[in-house]
Amino acid sequence: YTPDAGAEGPDSFSYTITDGDGDTSTATVNLTIDPDSFPTVSVVDAEGGNQVDEAALADGSNPGSVAES
């Protein structure tokens, strides 16, 4: 499950499973999406590249690499 970009608040999705005998069961998952408190900020510069605000990235990024993740 991946919510829409910027989504927050209640959401739900349903799914159906089928076993080897053809029996099915359907369930609904209800969830609440919390607001993103640390959004990634990306700005396109005049050269067409991206500048990334390192402080906005989640732990595990590598500021010395070419591509930030």
Residue 32 Cα distances to 15, 29, 61, 67, 69, angstroms: 18, 10, 27, 32, 26
**Cβ contacts of 4 within 8 Å, gap of 6 or more:** none
51 within 8 A of 45, measured Cβ to Cβ: yes
The average pLDDT across 10-21 equals: 91
The domain ranges of the chain are: 1-35
**What is the tens place of the pLDDT at every residue in 19-67?**
999 999 999 999 888 887 555 555 555 565 555 555 655 555 555 555 5
The average pLDDT across 4-13 equals: 87
Split at pLDDT 50, 70, 90, the class of 69 is very low
User: Structure tokens of 37?
Assistant: 């408190």
User: Structure tokens of 45?
Assistant: 């510069």
The average pLDDT across 3-22 equals: 89
Give the residue, 5 or 57, on which the prediction is more confident.
5
- pTM, entire model: 0.46
